[in-house]
Amino acid sequence: MSLDQAALHRSALPWQERRVECRFRLILSCPKSCCSMKGNDVSKETLEIGLLFFPGMTQLDVTGPFEVLARLPGARIHLLWKSLDPITSDVGLTLMPTTPFAECPTLDVLCVGGGPGQMALMDDPEVMAFVADAGARARYVTSVCAGCFILAGAGLLTGYRSACHWLSRDQLAVLGAIPVKDRIVVDRNRISGGGVTAGIDFAFEVAAQLCGVDIARRLQLMLEYDPKPPFDITEDNAPAELLAEIRSAARPMLEERLRSSERAAARLAAGQPQSDVAGGAAGCSAGAPQ
């Protein structure tokens, strides 16, 4: 993509550099005046929020959080990839990145989702170097579903508790992370969500950490987040034969994920890349735990 095309591409994205001045959007967003509540005065701040895009991603892992986080006061969203070329999700949805790695600012939030493309990403030195560097400078380092493997492979979850999709949770220990069977896990400045749809729950937790509970509650109300799934089925109550069937069907993918994690663990043991997240990016007045 040429520079002229990139400029045109950006100008067509209302969430990137400008707000859509429509009444409905304003109602569903949190204006900066909201931040006077509970002392969360961020009226002069910009929140730099980066969501990693990649081929083969499960888009709901990050588009769920996008829908919430883009409505925070002062939020500027960066849909991150190597280039501005479109990428395709694991089920065929075309997605447009907005910020190439080289132009990524210091982030308040780095968010990484998962999907089948995660395994190839773990062996991509450009991507893993970017994640390690961006995570080392971000105020909050976050993931949804199998995105935790990408963070862990970049050395960002060693000794940290993390949620993950139930099918792969046990593999996190290979990379030095501590797997936790919770839908949302907060461990200092690491925040993680479980599988796919947990990214929406996770996003309200991130919103609360960034801008306070009152703003997160307002967004949850305005987005009418009140899930009532039609079926009561989880890993805890599903029939054993159904769980066995799903695990059997997923076995090739899980074996590939394990191999990619073992390769990443070997690289970490050899000292490349390793990152200790120090935080330090500016953001809302609510401090980031370290």
Report the alpha-carbon angle 249-65-145, nearest 5. Answer: 25
Q: Which of 145, 148, 164, 211 is catalytic?
A: 145
Q: How many Å apart are CA 131 and CA 178, to the nearest integer?
A: 20
* 148: annotated active-site residue: no
Q: Are 53 and 87 in contact (CB under 8 A)?
A: yes
Which residues of the chain have a pLDDT value below 50?
2-4, 6-8, 10-24, 35-44, 273-290
List % helix, strand, coil for the chain (3-state, nearest 5): 45, 15, 45
**Considering Cα of 172, then 55, then 107, then 222, what sign does the dihedral take?**
negative
Q: How many Å apart are CA 10 and CA 14, to the nearest integer?
A: 8
Q: What is the DSSP letter of 77?
A: E
pLDDT of 9: 52
pTM of the predicted protein model: 0.84
Q: How many Å apart are CA 119 and CA 41, to the nearest integer?
A: 41
Sequence-distant (≥ 6) Cβ neighbours of residue 255 within 8 angstroms? none
